[in-house]
């Protein structure tokens, strides 16, 4: 906690994912006297780095050391376990802080908006990811893996993440930080065939070559390309100056020619648009329309649609329904084109769900610049952060500090060490809080 300097600017950042941390860092590095209180709904930080990034990509998760370093900067405070818009209204928050920066991500999965999406067996990739990564809101989701065929809809990196997790054996996942309930369910999986279905061609896929390369190394799953609707010329790179696309197409070509010998298969399919999920009491097939207009049914027992995400609206904050983000002009929240004083946005809740983790660094720096440019003529506050926090505690909030998180972190690592995993996550909020008290 920092001693308060009378003239110090008090800034609230809402959300502890990459964009929240990088905005905080840019603010605290600016040399302007200020402090940052980072509010987070959950008792644990890191947003999608903890609950999105695949468990079998541990190297990427080392980015959390950068976040932990930011958390040691003088003037930083973590206020976990508080939901803005619910426990505290946005107006109450704005009264207590000179500026509020929303870094709330894009938590809602986009729907396909076709018939049958509510059938049992139909899920979004976002829910499946949150489940295998032990997000408390999704830990008791029922994912029925007792079917032979799964269909993943979409050709982005998230689609490849979920297909790869389905394609791996429990032994390939056992030493990752995957949640225990997911490892147990995947160990019993009967999925043999995974169709990854996109609506356009090989060159239009949004996934990256690096993610596709992971499919070369699966122990019990072959990857292949269904050549209906695709011609082999399409694997010819359009320009030698694009090494990324060249590599992606040559991987797809290799998959299209590979022999199929392993017990599981991952089949990439192109130019099929989903039109309906079919089934009587539960999902039995997905109907896809080809470019010719003909409809093809692919039988399956599990569907994971991976077609993007949008930001959860926060009460009192204008929402851009078309883009699915808090309405903003270059990081300043705006209603009908006019800027709302002292309210900002960064990361996926500003730009939408695109880019890599580091994209949020440049994005956060830009938002911090907007905050700092405006702060010289800030309006007076009618409340203080400490009075707000005292009221919150009075209302029964259990606030989690960064040292408390360090205690949870250490406990998870201890649980993991016993199992040969980097950590065994707590998957309920009461268990997280119990670890703080222990």
Partner 1 sequence: MTYVVTDNCRGCRYTECVTVCPVECFHVDDAMTYIDPENCIDCGGCAPACPVGAIEPDYRLAADKKYWIDVNRKRATETPVISARLPALPGADERRRALGR
Ligand X SMILES: NC(=O)c1ccc[n+]([C@@H]2O[C@H](COP(=O)([O-])OP(=O)(O)OC[C@H]3O[C@@H](n4cnc5c(N)ncnc54)[C@H](OP(=O)(O)O)[C@@H]3O)[C@@H](O)[C@H]2O)c1
Report the interface residues with partner 1, using CB under 8 A. Answer: 18, 22, 59-60, 62-63, 65-66, 208, 210, 241, 243-244, 247, 355-362, 365
Whole-angstrom Cα distance, residue 325 to residue 397? 28
Question: Which residues 382-421 are close enough to bind ligand X by CB under 6 A?
Answer: none
Residue 173 contacts ligand FAD per CB under 6 A: no
Q: Contact between 42 and ligand FAD (CB under 6 A)? A: yes
- How far apart are the C-alpha atoms of 86 and 147, rounded to whole Å? 39
223 binds ligand FAD (CB under 6 A): no
**Residue in 30, 137, 200, 250 binding ligand X, rule: CB under 6 A:** 200
Asked if residue 178 binds ligand FAD (CB under 6 A), the reply is no
Residue 237 C-beta-side C-alpha neighbours within 13 Å: 13
DSSP state of 282: S
125: Cβ contacts below 8 Å, ≥ 6 apart: 109, 152, 154, 158, 159, 161, 162, 304, 305, 306
Taking CB under 6 A as the criterion, the residue among 338, 356, 393, 428 binding ligand X is 356
Q: Is 229 in the site for ligand X (CB under 6 A)?
A: no
Kindly indicate which of the ranges 34-42, 62-70, 139-147, 354-362 contains the residues binding ligand X, using the contact rule CB under 6 A.
Answer: 354-362
Identify whether the C-beta of residue 96 lies closer than 8 Å to the C-beta of residue 387.
yes
Kindly state the helix (H) or strand (E) to which residue 28 belongs, with its residue range. helix 18-29
324 contributes a contact to ligand FAD by CB under 6 A: no
**Is residue 352 at the binding interface for ligand X, with CB under 6 A as the rule?**
no
From 106, 176, 173, 109, select the one nearest 141 (Cα to Cα): 109
How many residues contact ligand X, by CB under 6 A?
25
Site mask for ligand FAD (CB under 6 A), range 84-113, x = bound: xx-----------------xxx-x------
In angstroms, how far apart are the furthest CA atoms of the chain?
Answer: 71
Residue 313 in contact with ligand FAD, rule: CB under 6 A: no
Query: How far apart are the C-alpha atoms of 356 and 329, rounded to whole Å?
Result: 22
Side-chain half-sphere CA neighbours of 134 within 13 A: 22
- Determine, following the binding rule CB under 6 A, whether residue 37 of this chain makes contact with ligand X: no
Per-residue binder mask for ligand X (CB under 6 A), 141-170, x = binder: ------------xxxxxxx-x---------
Please report the sign of the dihedral spanned by the C-alpha atoms of residue 248, residue 254, residue 260, residue 263. negative
237 versus 355: smaller Cβ distance to ligand X = 355
Burial class from Cβ neighbours inside 10 Å (0-12, 13-18, 19+) for residue 344 reads: buried
Helix axes 359-374, 18-29, angle to 10 degrees: 50
407 backbone φψ class: left, alpha, beta (φ>0; ψ -120 to 50): alpha
Which residue, 79 or 300, is less far from ligand X as judged by CB?
300
Min dist. Cβ of residue 255 to partner 1 (A): 18
Q: Could you say whether residue 307 binds ligand X (CB under 6 A)?
A: yes
Stretch that binds ligand X, among 206-214, 255-263, 289-297, 315-323 (CB under 6 A): 206-214
SS3 224: strand
Site for ligand X in 272-291 (CB under 6 A): 273-274
DSSP classification of residue 101: E
What residues line the site for ligand FAD (CB under 6 A)? 14-20, 39-42, 47-49, 52-53, 57, 60, 83-85, 103-105, 107, 129, 158, 161, 312, 314, 347-349, 355-357, 360
What residues line the site for ligand X (CB under 6 A)? 112, 153-159, 161, 198-200, 204, 206, 208, 211, 273-274, 306-308, 353-356
């Amino acid at each position: 906690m920092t001693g308060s300097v009378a003239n110090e600017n008090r800034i609230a950042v809402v959300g502890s994912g990459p964009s929240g941390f990088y905005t905080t860092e840019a603010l605290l590095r600016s040399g302007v006297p200020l402090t940052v209180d980072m509010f987070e709904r959950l008792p644990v930080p890191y947003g999608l780095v903890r609950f999105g990034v695949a468990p079998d990509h541990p190297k990427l998760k080392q980015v959390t050391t950068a976040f932990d370093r930011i958390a040691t900067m003088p003037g930083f405070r973590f206020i976990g376990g508080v939901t803005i818009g619910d426990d505290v209204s946005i107006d109450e928050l704005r009264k207590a802080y000179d500026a509020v920066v929303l870094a709330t991500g894009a938590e809602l999965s986009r729907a396909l908006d076709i018939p049958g999406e509510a059938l049992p067996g139909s899920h979004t990739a976002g829910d499946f990811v949150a489940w295998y990564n032990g997000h408390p809101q999704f830990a008791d989701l029922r994912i029925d893996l007792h079917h032979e065929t799964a269909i993943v809809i979409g050709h982005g990196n998230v689609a490849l993440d979920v297909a790869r997790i389905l394609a791996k054996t429990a032994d390939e996942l056992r030493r990752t930080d995957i949640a225990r309930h997911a490892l147990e369910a995947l160990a019993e999986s009967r999925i043999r065939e995974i169709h990854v279905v996109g609506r356009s061609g090989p060159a239009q896929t949004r996934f990256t070559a690096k993610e596709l390369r992971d499919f070369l190394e699966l122990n019990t799953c072959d990857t292949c390309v269904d050549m209906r609707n695709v011609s082999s010329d399409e694997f010819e790179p359009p320009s030698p100056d694009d090494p990324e696309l060249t590599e992606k197409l040559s991987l797809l070509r290799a998959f299209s020619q590979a022999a199929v010998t392993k017990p599981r298969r991952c089949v990439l399919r192109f130019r099929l648009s989903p039109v309906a999920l079919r089934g009587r009491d539960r999902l039995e097939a997905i109907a896809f329309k080809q470019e010719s207009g003909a409809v093809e049914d692919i039988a399956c027992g599990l569907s994971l649609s991976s077609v993007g995400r949008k930001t959860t609206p926060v009460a009192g904050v204008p929402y851009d329904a078309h883009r699915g983000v808090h309405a903003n002009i270059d990081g300043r929240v705006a209603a009908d084109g006019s800027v709302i004083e002292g309210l900002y946005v960064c990361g996926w809740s500003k730009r939408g769900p695109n880019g890599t983790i580091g994209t949020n660094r440049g994005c956060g720096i830009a938002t911090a610049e907007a905050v700092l440019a405006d702060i010289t003529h800030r309006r007076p506050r009618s409340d203080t952060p400490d009075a707000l926090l005292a009221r919150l505690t009075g209302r029964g909030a259990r606030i989690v500090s960064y040292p408390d998180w360090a205690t949870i972190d250490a406990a998870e690592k201890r649980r993991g060490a016993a199992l040969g995993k980097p950590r065994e996550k707590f998957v309920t909020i009461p268990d997280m809080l119990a670890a703080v008290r222990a």
